[in-house]
Homo-oligomer: A and B are copies of this chain.
Amino acid sequence: MTNPIICEVTRGALVESLHRGAYVVVDSAGAVVAASGDIERPVYARSSMKMMQALPLVESGAADAAGFGVRALALAGASHSGEPGHVAMASEMLQRVGLTEDALGCGPQWPAEVRDMAALYATRGRPGRIHNNCSGKHAGFLATARHLGHDVATYLDPSNPVQREVKAAVEAVAGTVLDAGCCSIDGCSAPTFAMPLVSLAHAFARLGTGADLAPSRAEAARRLMEAAMAEPWLVAGTGRMCTELMALAPGRIYAKTGAEGVYVGAFPQAGLAVALKCDDGTTRASEALMAALVLRHAALPAEAAAQVAGMADRPVTDRNGAEVGRIRGVLAGA
């Protein structure tokens, strides 16, 4: 099937570009509340599932053994911008388990902000692995491997017990079987998994409510989700939509983006969770659609809703700052 339009980008009187995709909203019992497009086709969850990948870190006791607080748990599930505070937190996590940046298996990545890129260029000339947006997740993997006595050097290998635990946690929480055809490698060289959008949404419904989860897993999920919502800047960074959504309505929104146009969310007070994928992998579209879904389903106070409305339908500007068009998230039937 051809997925419906989920985002329109206008310029002047015309639609200049458009994005197709699918989304699904489920309640805490797993019932589909709203959906559009193909929600059964497997899509790589990419960084949207970082919270699931961090479950073994907490459940195993590795996080507590390392003295990881709320900030470390937030960074373990982050796609951070490589700002100095992110890098410092990732370094602290590694130091707490007796490791350094050298132990990270993720490749190097420039920070997202020009300011940080320029500072790094001036001091080191090139980015490090600690600046990779996934360095907190990798620090979490490494802490788990250290705590459980697994081989640290091969911590990204799908056969390493850490990654086996991660995969088992994802399968259990998403309620899906990840066969070989759905397993691949992420941009940070960690295993990644594809699953139906509806399974991804179910996972975040379970993570947000604890429903269907063993008590220890439900407790780990609660700690990770509360950490993300308490420290939204650590989950993404300055000006990033995940950070802004979580900051504007504390406790009401968990939001996490993933590469190639994926977004997930949990709205604990509304008892709902959401997963979406833009077919073409474009972030502006996944963000506009996510904002439209938050606006409709997260039961926000009026002031927060007004801010989210400005993300769901925002201006395209020229480089002088003048509005020349709009980017609009499009919900089915809207």
Residues in A lying within 8 Å of B, measured CB to CB: 2, 9, 11-14, 16-20, 42-44, 105-110, 114-115, 117-118, 121-122, 132, 180-189, 192, 194, 260-261, 278-282, 285, 318-322, 324-325
> How many angstroms between the C-alpha atoms of A83 and B183 in the bound complex?
40
Docked-complex contact B319 and A187, CB < 8 angstroms: yes
Ranked 5 nearest A-B pairs via Cβ? A107-B319, A12-B184, A118-B121, A17-B281, A107-B320
Contact A16 to B44, CB < 8 A, known contacts A319-B189, A325-B184: yes
Q: How far is the CB of A158 from chain B (nearest CB, A)?
A: 12
Q: Which residues of B contact A318 (CB under 8 A)?
A: 107, 185-189
Interface centre among A43, A115, A117, A318 (most CB of B within 10 A): A318
Residues of B within 8 A of A322 (CB): 185, 189
In angstroms, how far is the closest chain B Cβ from the Cβ of A243? 22
* A140 CB, min distance to chain B CBs, angstroms: 18
Question: Closest CB of chain B to A218's CB: distance in Å?
Answer: 31
- From B109, B180, B280, B325, A19 is in contact (CB under 8 Å) with B280
Of all chain B residues, the one with the shortest Cβ separation from A321 is B107
Task: With both chains docked as a complex, state the minimum distance between the C-beta of A110 and any C-beta of chain B, in angstroms.
Answer: 6
For A285, the closest partner residue in chain B by CB is B280
Q: Which residues of B contact A109 (CB under 8 A)?
A: 319
Alpha-carbon distance A14/B261, docked complex (angstroms):
15
Q: Shortest CB–CB separation between residue A109 and chain B, in angstroms? A: 6
Q: A183-B12, A187-B318 are in contact. Are A279 and B17 (CB under 8 A)?
A: yes
- Residue pair B184, A11 in contact (C-beta under 8 Å): yes
- Docked Cα-Cα span, A185 to B2, in Å, equals 31
